[in-house]
């Protein structure tokens, strides 16, 4: 039996983006054991996925000791092929230390840290603009050329869906009817939806809208007037369940290009994603609706963690009604 290890440590959205390719490989090689190495905090996302045979974890806060613990765990199991989905020194190191004879990844601009490819045995060339879903598919097709592209998929159990439905009912949201979920993040982040935009969503979407705040938003003030759903640390499975609830109800997720939005989309919820500083060609979730500023500033897209526009992140200051809608990258 062939065992393949996929290495994708971060970010959460990029991990989710690569799952479609892993599922595509499972469809044509059902006898292969497909494993995923990721950060321990993201591991719950991979639960209940029938195409993932096992999950290996790395505690990024644990330093060298945690890295050595992960490497020893990898070496205790037979791994035939290791695939570096991330393309930096850390992911390449774990790929190299997995013990796999076949170690592959991408090269050039498709690697976050191009020189790290020296730790691999095969480095493939990919066409077009780098995107985590496309990168994973190129690597999977190097192992099985007949594999067909598939969107990422996350699975929630019936019990998880019912618990999240109960949480929605507790804040006055009827989960049996279409509803919206807006991903609220710290306005300091230039990717965040502006609070004034969030406030207009119920009227413009013609849906009841609940604002979702995750663990990183514990200190963020919610937008007045909208129901609030808070997910605490360690409740990542609730995010998957929320996306499944929304999908079953025919709801819509609204959010910036951040991990929680990608998870809701992969759990099946129809999704509209605001793209301000980011380039949708590089990160847009498959099958999501991409929303752009109709008259965005000349400085977009950019990849800075802080906005340097004299008026702030104006590229995100547009409402659903004003948005220019474009299809996601193919």
Amino acid 330: pLDDT: 64
Asked whether residue 60 falls in the same domain as residue 167, the answer is: no
Q: What is the residue-averaged pLDDT of the chain?
A: 96
149 within domain boundaries:
no
Asked whether residue 162 falls in the same domain as residue 124, the answer is: no
| 200-253 residue pLDDT tens | 999 999 999 999 999 999 999 999 999 999 999 999 999 999 999 999 999 999
Give the number of domains in the chain. 2
44 within domain boundaries:
yes
Q: How far is CA 278 from the centre of its chain?
A: 14
Asked whether residue 205 falls in the same domain as residue 236, the answer is: yes
Among 108, 143, 178, residue at a domain's last position: 143
Asked whether residue 257 falls in the same domain as residue 121, the answer is: no
Residues 6+ apart with CB under 8 A from 252: 178, 180, 181, 205, 207, 246, 269, 270, 271, 272
Among 88, 111, 143, residue at a domain's last position: 143
| 241-279 residue pLDDT tens | 999 999 999 999 999 999 999 999 999 999 999 999 999
151 within domain boundaries:
no
Asked whether residue 164 falls in the same domain as residue 121, the answer is: no
Q: Whole-structure pTM over 0.85, yes or no?
A: yes
Which among 232, 225, 274, 278 is positioned nearest to 253, based on CA atoms? 274
64 within domain boundaries:
yes
Residue 291 has pLDDT above 80, yes or no: yes
Percent of the chain with pLDDT strictly greater than 90? 94
Asked whether residue 217 falls in the same domain as residue 295, the answer is: yes
Q: In whole angstroms, give the CA distance from residue 251 to residue 48.
A: 23
Amino acid 287: pLDDT: 87
Asked whether residue 113 falls in the same domain as residue 167, the answer is: no
Amino acid 16: pLDDT: 98
Which among 251, 303, 263, 12 is positioned nearest to 130, based on CA atoms? 303
The residue with tokens 């998929």 is 153
80 within domain boundaries:
yes
60 within domain boundaries:
yes
Among 85, 120, 143, residue at a domain's last position: 143
Q: In whole angstroms, give the CA distance from residue 278 to residue 302.
A: 6
Q: In whole angstroms, give the CA distance from residue 111 to residue 271.
A: 28
Domain carrying residue 66: 3-143
Asked whether residue 293 falls in the same domain as residue 194, the answer is: yes
Asked whether residue 66 falls in the same domain as residue 12, the answer is: yes
Amino acid 326: pLDDT: 86
152 within domain boundaries:
no
CATH number (domain holding residue 79): 3.40.50.2000
Asked whether residue 225 falls in the same domain as residue 295, the answer is: yes
Asked whether residue 64 falls in the same domain as residue 108, the answer is: yes
229 within domain boundaries:
yes
Asked whether residue 310 falls in the same domain as residue 180, the answer is: yes
């Amino acid at each position: 039996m062939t065992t393949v290890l996929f290495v994708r440590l971060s970010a959460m959205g990029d991990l989710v983006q690569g799952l479609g390719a892993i599922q595509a490989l499972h469809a044509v090689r059902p006898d292969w054991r497909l494993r995923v190495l990721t950060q321990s905090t993201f591991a719950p996302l991979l639960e209940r996925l029938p195409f993932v045979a096992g999950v290996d974890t790395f505690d990024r806060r644990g330093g060298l000791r945690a890295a050595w613990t992960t490497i020893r765990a990898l070496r205790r199991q037979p791994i035939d092929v290791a695939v570096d989905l991330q393309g930096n020194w850390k992911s390449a190191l774990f790929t190299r230390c997995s013990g796999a004879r076949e170690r592959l990844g991408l090269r050039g601009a498709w690697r976050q840290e191009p020189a790290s490819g020296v730790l691999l045995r095969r480095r493939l060339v990919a066409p077009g603009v780098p995107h985590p879903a496309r990168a994973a598919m190129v690597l999977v097709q190097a192992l099985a050329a007949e594999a067909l592209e598939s969107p990422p998929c996350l699975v929630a159990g019936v019990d998880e869906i019912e618990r999240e439905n109960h949480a929605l009912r507790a804040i006055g949201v009827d989960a049996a009817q279409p509803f919206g979920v807006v991903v609220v993040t710290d306005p300091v982040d230039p990717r965040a939806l502006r609070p004034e935009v969030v406030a207009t969503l119920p009227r413009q979407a013609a849906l009841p809208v609940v604002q979702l705040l995750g663990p990183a938003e514990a200190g963020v003030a919610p937008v007045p007037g909208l129901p609030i759903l808070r997910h605490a640390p360690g409740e990542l499975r609730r995010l998957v369940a929320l996306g499944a609830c929304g999908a079953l109800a025919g709801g819509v997720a609204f959010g910036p290009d951040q991990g929680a939005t990608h998870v809701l989309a992969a759990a099946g919820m129809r999704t509209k994603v605001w793209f301000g500083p980011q380039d949708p060609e590089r990160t847009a979730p498959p099958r999501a609706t991409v929303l752009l500023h109709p008259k965005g500033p000349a400085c977009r897209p950019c990849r800075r963690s802080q906005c340097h526009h004299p008026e702030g992140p104006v590229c995100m200051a547009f409402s659903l009604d004003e948005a220019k809608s474009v299809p996601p990258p193919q």
